Amino acid sequence: MTEEEARERILAAAEELYYRKGYAAVGMDELRTAAGVSLRRLYALFPAKTDIVAAVLQRKHHEWETSLTAAVADAGTDPRTRLLAVYRYLEGWFCTDGFRGCAFINAFGELGGTNPEVAQIVREHKASFQKYMASLAAESGAPAALAAQLSILAEGAQSTAAISADPQVAAQARAAAEVLIDAALVQSIHNSAR
């Protein structure tokens, strides 16, 4: 097994175990067994557990951005529809088997208070999402405040869906987003008519 294959096996196993059981609950020995690598190889590739957590979160960030931007692109060119596509994407995600909420929120809840590196990775991920929402809001001609409101709505939907195990939270969030978007667009038109 090459170094890259071993790394991939470790990260795939860590991602699955951390998401299912929690970051703190999974030890290096359990991870080694699940990945099918020796403990020596595991430590050679990732000298500390924080290194694995950071790599898993970077991997999840890439997966999130790729999937979300593809879902928005598939929604077409209408700016309002593109904003609402975020919530359709969330609904699909919430309906997947084993949905346990946002891996970043989970990591921050478990490790953010004691691990500054993990806290920083989570903050950067959330800032990236807000920046993306800001670009979508700008496309629609809505004020910048709309992006923050829609981001908070999406974040709240992720936490609520994880706790309630109800994927309909995404539909409720999408309905609330429609109200916010329409109000922001009306306000924007009103302001430009002055």
The confidence score (pLDDT) of residue 162 equals 95
CATH code for the structural domain at 1-47? 1.10.10.60
The confidence score (pLDDT) of residue 190 equals 57
Q: pLDDT 10s digit of each residue in the chain, 194 long?
A: 899 999 999 999 999 999 999 999 999 999 999 999 999 999 999 999 999 999 999 999 999 999 999 999 999 999 999 999 999 999 999 999 889 999 999 999 999 889 999 999 999 999 999 999 999 999 998 888 999 999 999 999 999 999 999 999 999 999 999 999 999 988 766 566 56
CATH code for the structural domain at 53-193? 1.10.357.10
Tokens of 32: 């080694």
The confidence score (pLDDT) of residue 194 equals 60
How far apart (Å, rounded) are the C-alpha atoms in residues 107 and 94?
18
| Range 103-129 burial, b when 16+ CB lie within 10 A, else e | bbbbbbebbbeebeebeebbeebbeeb
The confidence score (pLDDT) of residue 144 equals 86
Domain ranges of the chain: 1-47, 53-193
The confidence score (pLDDT) of residue 143 equals 87
- Ramachandran assignment for 38, one of left (phi > 0), alpha (psi -120 to 50 degrees), beta (any other): beta
